[in-house]
């Protein structure tokens, strides 16, 4: 079960294949058409001694007009492992790529990890042109990224 929490509303349980304990919807705080839903995996999904994992699902454009808000929200995520589900990102520009690299480097400098999951073809093309496919860990799905983190 997911524990669904929106700002100012009580927790409600929702059915989903991946149980979660905390789900925050940041959509109202973003300008330029980007929404972020943050899901922290609950203890029932953590292996013994494994670090905590969060999944942030992004929807919309990750571009010049949204990167500042994006970075302000996800940089403060305390989870050891953060998976960005980019399946809902319709557009990624050079500013968005720069934000992903910045987030990757800041997390790495504090001993935390970041992975990108389900990146659309347009996003992969931008990452390829910028030469970042070797730097940023990319996975075909969120589930693959989570499994890889647990190894």
What is the domain range of residue 37?
32-149
Tell whether 67 is covered by a domain: yes
Tell whether 2 is covered by a domain: no
Minimum mean pLDDT range among 28-42, 65-79, 90-104: 28-42
Report whether pLDDT(37) > 70.
yes
Encode pLDDT of 82-141 as tens digits.
999 999 999 999 999 999 999 999 999 999 999 999 999 999 999 999 999 999 999 999
Of 131 and 1, the structure prediction assigns the larger pLDDT to: 131
pLDDT band at 31 (very low <50, low <70, confident <90, very high): low
d(CA 48, CA 38): 23
Number of residues written out for the chain = 151
Tell whether 96 is covered by a domain: yes
Report whether pLDDT(28) > 70.
no
pLDDT of the residue at 5: 31
pLDDT band at 51 (very low <50, low <70, confident <90, very high): low
Domain count, the chain: 1
Instruction: Give phi and psi for 18, each to the nearest 5.
Output: -115, 100
Tell whether 24 is covered by a domain: no
Tell whether 19 is covered by a domain: no
d(CA 138, CA 61): 18
Answering whether pTM is above 0.95, one says: no
Tell whether 11 is covered by a domain: no
Tell whether 7 is covered by a domain: no
- What is the domain-level CATH number for residue 36? 3.30.750.24
12-14, strands of its sheet edge to edge: 12-14, 2-4, 20-25, 35-41, 53-62, 81-92, 113-117, 138-139
Tell whether 99 is covered by a domain: yes
C-beta separation of 56 from 86 below 8 A: no
Mean pLDDT of 25-35: 61
């Amino acid at each position: 079960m997911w524990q669904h929490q929106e700002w100012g509303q009580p927790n409600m349980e929702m059915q989903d294949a991946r149980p979660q304990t905390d789900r925050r919807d940041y959509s109202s705080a973003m300008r330029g058409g980007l929404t972020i839903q943050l899901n922290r995996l609950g203890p029932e999904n953590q292996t013994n001694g494994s670090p905590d994992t969060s999944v942030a699902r992004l929807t919309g454009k990750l571009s010049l007009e949204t990167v500042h808000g994006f970075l302000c929200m996800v940089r403060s995520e305390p989870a050891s492992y953060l998976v960005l589900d980019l399946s809902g990102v319709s557009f990624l520009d050079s500013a968005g790529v720069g934000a992903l690299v910045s987030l990757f480097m800041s997390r790495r400098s504090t001993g935390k990890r970041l992975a990108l999951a389900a990146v659309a073809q347009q996003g992969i093309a931008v990452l390829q042109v910028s030469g970042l496919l070797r730097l940023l860990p990319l996975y075909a799905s969120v589930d693959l990224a989570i499994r890889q983190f647990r190894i």
